[in-house]
Chain A
Amino acid sequence: MSERVFRVWRGSGEGGLAEYRVEVNEGEVVLDVLHRLQATQTPDLAVRWNCKAGKCGSCSVEINGRPRLSCMTRMSVFDEDEVVTVTPMRTFPVIRDLVCDVSYNYRKAMEIPSFAPDPKAEPGDFRMAQVDVERSQEFRKCIECFLCNNVCHVIRDHEENKEHFSGPRFLMRVAELEMHPEDTADRRAIAQDEFGLGYCNITKCCTEVCPEGIHITDNALIPMKERVADRKYDPLVWLGSKIGVRPKDTPIVPNVRPTADRTRTDG
């Protein structure tokens, strides 16, 4: 047991860091310490959490500037005398303290055309080999902590790009569907034109922060860029489209983009 100094963001986006001295025990994670602050010093400290086992992706924050799950960050990674600074995710508006409004993510999820099996197929008809499902299974490990979208500089540093960019999480969702062996839609064109794959400059921060260890860049985003190149930047496809062999692009889902009166300001 030892006493540590914690600096925790308090208040709304206009708030600031407050300093606490708090007891830390062997084996604890940052979320344990935040809970101790709630129980003993500041009962209204807002922290979003659920499973405390790295499975639900609720407790995303930034610890000493690094986007992380607070339930999976052990206190033993810090030096004994190191001040631990905990701030909310920077990319999303702050509701209070460490809790952000992450509705951006749910809006982006809504825009992606859903899984589209062959309309003639019935439940139970699918026959897929393990190797067929493994690629998409990796992406389905995603716990939607949104740390990748938080760290991605495209929107972290440029609020205006939020409108045109779905973030690594949802570009990976597109990749997941495109690699699903029983899916029949073709989302390549809209991945580029609507979901902003072209904004991605594959600098891999999404992969670096993923608590599930998903190779977002190498296995989802780059393969997606290659598929987009097949669709949009291949001379044969281009030639084909000129002579009438048009690829059947799946269009974006209608009426799910926020119109002017539905738009929220995200800060």
Chain B
Amino acid sequence: MTPDDSARTGAVRARIPRRTLRTDRWWLGPVLTTAGLAAFVVYATFRVFQQDHYWVAEHHYLTPFYSPCLAQQCAPEAALFGRLPVEFPPLVPYALLSLPFLLLFRVTCYYYRKAYYRSIWQAPTACAVREPHSRYTGETRPLMLPQNGHRYFFYVALAITLVNTWDTAVAFFHGTDGGFGIGLGNLVMVVNVLMLWGYTLSCHSCRHIMGGRLRSFGRHPVRYWMWSRVSTLNDRHMYFGWFSIASLMATDAYVALMASGTITDLRILN
């Protein structure tokens, strides 16, 4: 320290005992986020392990929670990509190959990280609100390193979204009288798959891969174009994040209700 800085020695931060002086409802956001995430986790856990009501044979509606369906128990027509020669024991998800990656894709997602760090981990609960931890190391510890692998889960998610798209397309060709047909279930699946595409393509890693990693856009016009498009989607990544889990639940619920015979499909065409 240079001698003239003496005045600053010993200066301390303002000692304000209150956790925050904010007067607005700063806790509302984290509460809603927690509620939303909890609802999804509870619902998805129940459904994934249920091993039932995932398939509407008449119209080939397959819930995304069971796609691709790999267990030997899967209805043969539901297993669009083949089955493994083993029978899955109880509580093992039929979509064993896709679900862990989809989960990791969302867990490492930059938006969901923000959401759960704030609402569940409370680091911080809200801006300018003191967090309840005495130490903080962020994502520097080895345990947190997988967060840096988001892009790899993105690649897998991209493939799975293609699978979901195939599921959706196939269902259009199973009308009530065979051949092409449209029911409410098809529309629900289409909305869902659009949300999944929106969420997957608006991903920050996707934006980086498309062109964000470049130093110069002027010399890469095509990648700049792709980057610009993804950037537009990326602005809405949070909305895609929520709308897509909402549409996943809605699609699954619709299929489950139909498969269990609770409701019948509303047919628009054939």
Contact = CB atoms under 8 A, between A and B. Distances in A.
Contacts, number: 172
Interface of A: 9, 12-15, 62, 64-67, 82, 85, 87-88, 90-95, 101, 103, 128-129, 131-132, 151, 153-154, 156-159, 161, 178-181, 183, 196, 198-205, 208-209, 217-218, 222-223, 225-230, 232-233, 261-267
B262 interface: no
A129 B139 contact: no
Interface in B196-212: 204-205, 207-208, 212
Contact of B13 (A93, A131, A161): A93
Given A13-B12, A199-B140, A232-B148, 19 more contacts: A67-B127, A67-B128, A90-B16, A91-B13, A93-B13, A94-B14, A129-B217, A156-B124, A157-B136, A181-B215, A196-B140, A201-B114, A201-B123, A203-B127, A204-B114, A223-B204, A263-B1, A265-B9, A267-B11
B118 to A, nearest CB: 5
A95 B138 CA distance: 30
Q: Classify the secondary structure of B's interface with A.
A: loop
A219 B116 CA distance: 21
A162 to B, nearest CB: 11
B243 interface: no
A94 B222 CA distance: 51
Interface stretch (B17-25, B36-44, B45-53, B176-184): B17-25
Given A222-B204, A226-B205, A202 B216 contact: no
A226 B11 contact: no
B217 A264 contact: no
Given A92-B13, A203-B114, A226-B151, A153 B213 contact: no
A261 B218 contact: no
B238 to A, nearest CB: 10
B247 to A, nearest CB: 23
A169 to B, nearest CB: 16
Given A95-B11, A200-B139, A267-B11, A181 B216 contact: yes
B127 A209 contact: yes
Contacts of A101: 8, 11
Given A13-B11, A158-B135, A64 B21 contact: yes
A29 B215 CA distance: 41
27 contacts: A13-B15, A64-B21, A64-B23, A65-B22, A92-B13, A93-B12, A94-B14, A132-B216, A151-B127, A153-B131, A157-B124, A158-B136, A181-B218, A198-B144, A202-B113, A203-B118, A203-B123, A218-B235, A222-B110, A225-B148, A227-B213, A229-B150, A230-B213, A233-B148, A262-B1, A265-B10, A267-B13
A154 B218 contact: no
A71 B139 CA distance: 36
Contacts of B217: 129, 131-132
B204 A131 contact: no
Given A66-B128, A203-B124, A222-B110, A94 B11 contact: yes
Interface centre among B9, B207, B208 (most CB of A within 10 A): B208
Interface in B222-268: 224, 234-235
A75 to B, nearest CB: 15
A236 B152 CA distance: 13
Nearest to B20: A65
Contact of A12 (B12, B140, B218): B12
A233 B5 CA distance: 42
B8 A203 contact: no
Nearest to A228: B148
Contacts of B145: 233
B155 interface: no
A180 B216 CA distance: 8
A208 B129 CA distance: 13
A266 B139 CA distance: 24
B215 to A, nearest CB: 5
A65 B11 contact: no
Contacts of A82: 23
A12 B82 CA distance: 71
B215 A267 contact: no
B15 to A, nearest CB: 6
Interface in B32-69: none
A198 B24 CA distance: 30
A14 B15 contact: yes
A90 B114 contact: no
A181 B135 CA distance: 39
A261 B139 contact: no
B218 A132 contact: yes
Contact of A199 (B113, B131, B138, B205): B138
